[in-house]
Amino acid sequence: MTHDAALRFAIQQLSQGAPLTREGSAAAFGVVMRGEATPVQIAALLMGLRSKGETPDEVAGAALALRCAMLRLDTEDPHLLVDTCGTGGGRVGTLNISTAAAFVVAGAGVPVAKHGNRSYTSRSGSADVLEALGIDIDLAPDAARDALESTKLTFLFAPAYHPAMRHMGPVRKELGVHTIMNLLGPLANPAGVVRQVVGVSEAARGKVVAETLAMLGTRHALVLHAAVGMDEISPSGPTLVWEVRDERVSTWELEPATFGLESGNLEDLAGGEPAENAVRIERLFAGQGSRVVRCAVLLNAAAALFVSANGWQMDEAVERAANALDSGAAAGVLERLRLTARRKIRS
């Protein structure tokens, strides 16, 4: 049997429109993660899944293969951590809302292991805007752990923890479309989080991601898609939510007006270059941001506080998020992380 037999079989199955089993998907992606697949094979696998439509079993298998290949960040209690890593690529390009929300969550006292990367499809990914904010995005595991303990927030730069992803990077860039790989980032946090908020760019993928999270042992998560096309909670109109609690998935809608956080002017949410987004995030933390940005960040931060281990309901989570923002706690997290970066430069 050749080293890429599992991958060849998977491509053959997909060419006939047949789904892969979880084990079959894990085996095929294992070949890719080991660097034993050609670019043509990788493209065939990704587009075969994309064209057919990925199933929860296929996504779970791919996520397990990625988890097996990743470097891990050991923490004292990963069950207390939350993540705000989404798939990206919503129809409405925004200014790194989930990244800004991570500071608010940490400011509210909930530890965040923020998993992210540079942008593949938008102008500014989470790593790009954090770098523009003066934060060291490429911390060694010990330093990342120290940052988490001292500030309640650490950034886990995907390329540093997922070296196997380098085998797919060039193919993904050339394809230029969303594939299963966009779904895997939120499903393979190096710190092993089991509480998270995952925005999806397409409503059709919400149920798939939620069911996959349930398969993978998630304790509490919200998978989100806003009716306006955002892969985050929108302050304008309803957001569809797939809630995962242990192995159960329920669906409901979140209306921002319920929490007094409705704002219809989405133009102010439009994303720009990393430096521009960084300035707007700093303005928000200084109490000078626009209402629509404030509403969006508070809603998404509250979602992360809601899935945390504290048992808060959404209304209390919104209140705690607002307090973290207005008290300067979120800004304090940013300043402490900047200080860490400056110390590294001096040393």
In a domain, 346, yes or no: no
Q: Identify the band that residue 145 occupies on the pLDDT scale cut at 50, 70 and 90.
A: very high
In a domain, 343, yes or no: no
| Cα gap 248→239, rounded to integer Å | 20
pLDDT of residue 15 exceeding 60: yes
Which of the residue ranges 33-37, 89-93, 231-235 would you say has the lowest mean pLDDT? 89-93
Identify whether residues 19 and 55 lie together within a single domain: yes
pLDDT of residue 318 exceeding 90: yes
Q: What is the CATH number of the domain that holds 210?
A: 3.40.1030.10
Identify whether residues 205 and 222 lie together within a single domain: yes
- Please name the residues in contact with 129: beta carbons below 8 A apart, sequence gap of 6 or more: 95, 96, 99, 274, 277, 278, 281
In a domain, 329, yes or no: yes
In a domain, 347, yes or no: no
pLDDT at site 288: 94
Identify whether residues 226 and 317 lie together within a single domain: yes
Count up the domains in the chain and report the number.
Answer: 2
Question: Between the CA atoms of 86, 91, 92 and 98, what dihedral angle is there, to the nearest 10 degrees?
Answer: 0
Nearest to 282 by CA among 135, 158, 154: 135
- Both tokens of residue 94? 């925004």
Return contacts of 308-311, CB within 8 angstroms, 24+ apart: 308/80, 308/82, 308/105, 308/110, 308/195, 309/79, 309/80, 309/195, 310/110
In a domain, 345, yes or no: no
pLDDT tens digits for range 222-258: 999 999 999 999 999 999 999 999 889 999 999 999 9
Identify whether residues 169 and 47 lie together within a single domain: no
> pTM score, two decimals?
0.94
Nearest to 254 by CA among 269, 232, 271: 232
In a domain, 341, yes or no: no
Identify whether residues 210 and 301 lie together within a single domain: yes
Identify whether residues 177 and 308 lie together within a single domain: yes
| Cα gap 193→208, rounded to integer Å | 19
| Cα gap 98→78, rounded to integer Å | 20
Q: Which structural domain range is residue 64 located in?
A: 5-69
Identify whether residues 173 and 269 lie together within a single domain: yes
pLDDT tens digits for range 182-226: 899 999 999 999 999 999 989 999 999 999 999 999 999 999 999
pLDDT of residue 119 exceeding 90: no
Identify whether residues 176 and 223 lie together within a single domain: yes
Tell which of 13, 34, 69 closes a domain.
Answer: 69
- Both tokens of residue 76? 């004292």
Give the containing element (helix H, strand E) for 303: helix 291-307
